[in-house]
């Protein structure tokens, strides 16, 4: 039952998917990060559903791109985008680490957060509009949300925390670290393996982009904030998925020129 409660807590906390509500207790959070990538699986499956619907109804490429841009936000409720915007505000302040952490805790959105969010959505829409949508490319793209969340879960129990309180600290302190690390690595290996097996070129580019995003997350979070936070975890998920999409589009364009 503990695994079931952790499953429900992960989906209730990080998505809008309908699951039974569980009590906010440490024992229910012990394995929550193990199930974080399940949300990525749901996003990937829904991506195929959107593409099938677009093909059935002969939707325009622009409308299809718009639906695919909005899809992750609809599933997650924008929780990761919220973190991305908070980090954008903090980084744009060029303030000391302590001040940046205070800025991220401010519930109000600053000008830089709005600009960063608009730019992110515009880039995502443009990339989806140009993305190759062959079977191999779609498989690679469908596994990107799984890979990003597997890496994010691994970071929760691996990276140093920037502060002792907050959402990420709560999940890290309550987690069975050994189990979460093993399961996260299995998710990462499974997602990356499928991407490389079914789409060697597009999948390889996306996996490389995810790896670089993870390295950026580690270096930037330690340098700018002294460690990871919940907002930075959300920032990573958004940056990783955008980087993966950009990588697939780039190799598709290069392949078209050869």
pLDDT in tens, 190-234: 999 999 999 999 999 999 999 999 999 999 999 999 999 989 999
**Domain count along the chain:** 1
Phi, psi (5° rounding) for residue 228? -90, 155
Domain that holds residue 35: 2-257
Digit-coded pLDDT (tens) for 132-151:
988 889 999 999 999 999 99
Number of residues written out for the chain: 258
For helices 36-57 and 177-198, the axis angle rounded to 10 degrees is: 30
Digit-coded pLDDT (tens) for 24-65:
777 777 888 899 999 999 999 999 999 999 999 999 999 999
Q: d(Cα 258, Cα 250) in Å, to the nearest integer?
A: 13
Q: How many CB atoms lie within 10 A of CB 135?
A: 9
Q: d(Cα 47, Cα 138) in Å, to the nearest integer?
A: 9
Q: What percent of the chain has pLDDT over 90?
A: 66
Using the Cα atoms of residue 43, residue 48, residue 53 and residue 58 in order, give the sign of their dihedral: positive
Q: Using an 8 Å Cβ cutoff, are 29 and 6 in contact?
A: yes
Q: What percent of the chain has pLDDT over 70?
A: 98
Q: Is 161 helix (H, G, I), strand (E, B) or coil?
A: strand
Q: Going by C-beta distance under 8 Å and a sequence separation of 6 or more, which residues neighbour residue 111?
A: none
Q: Is 228 helix (H, G, I), strand (E, B) or coil?
A: strand
**Confidence band of 258 (pLDDT split at 50, 70, 90):** low
Digit-coded pLDDT (tens) for 152-190:
999 999 998 878 777 777 777 777 789 999 999 999 999
What average pLDDT is seen over the chain? Answer: 91
Q: d(Cα 153, Cα 35) in Å, to the nearest integer?
A: 9
pLDDT value at residue 17: 87
Q: d(Cα 48, Cα 138) in Å, to the nearest integer?
A: 8
| Burial status of residue 223 (CB atoms within 10 A of its CB: 0-12, 13-18, 19 or more) | exposed
pLDDT value at residue 28: 72
pLDDT value at residue 159: 92
Q: d(Cα 68, Cα 141) in Å, to the nearest integer?
A: 11
pLDDT value at residue 116: 94
**Confidence band of 18 (pLDDT split at 50, 70, 90):** confident
Phi, psi (5° rounding) for residue 227? 150, -175
pLDDT value at residue 1: 67
* 192 CA to centre of own chain: 15
């Amino acid at each position: 039952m503990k695994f079931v409660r952790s499953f429900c807590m992960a989906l209730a906390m990080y998505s809008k998917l309908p699951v039974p509500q569980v009590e906010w207790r440490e024992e229910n959070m012990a394995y929550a990060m193990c199930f974080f990538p399940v949300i990525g699986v749901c996003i990937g499956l829904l991506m195929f559903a959107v593409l099938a619907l677009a093909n059935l109804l002969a939707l325009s490429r622009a409308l299809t791109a718009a639906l695919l841009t909005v899809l992750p936000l609809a599933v997650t409720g924008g929780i990761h985008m919220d973190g991305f915007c908070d980090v954008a505000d903090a980084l744009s302040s060029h303030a000391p680490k302590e001040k940046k952490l205070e800025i991220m805790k401010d519930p109000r959105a600053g000008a830089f957060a709005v600009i960063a969010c608009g730019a992110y959505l515009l880039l995502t829409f443009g990339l989806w509009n140009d993305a190759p949508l062959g079977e191999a490319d779609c498989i690679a793209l469908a596994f990107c949300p799984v890979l990003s969340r597997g890496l994010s879960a691994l970071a929760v129990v691996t990276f140093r925390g920037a502060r002792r309180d907050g959402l990420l600290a709560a999940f890290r302190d309550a987690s069975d670290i050994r189990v979460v690390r093993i399961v996260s690595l299995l998710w990462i290996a499974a997602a990356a393996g499928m991407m490389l097996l079914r789409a060697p070129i597009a999948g390889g580019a996306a996996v490389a982009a995810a790896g670089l995003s993870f390295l950026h997350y580690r270096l930037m979070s330690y340098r700018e904030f002294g460690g990871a936070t919940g907002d930075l975890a959300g920032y990573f998920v958004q940056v990783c998925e955008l980087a993966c999409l950009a990588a697939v589009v780039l190799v598709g364009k290069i392949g078209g020129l050869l």
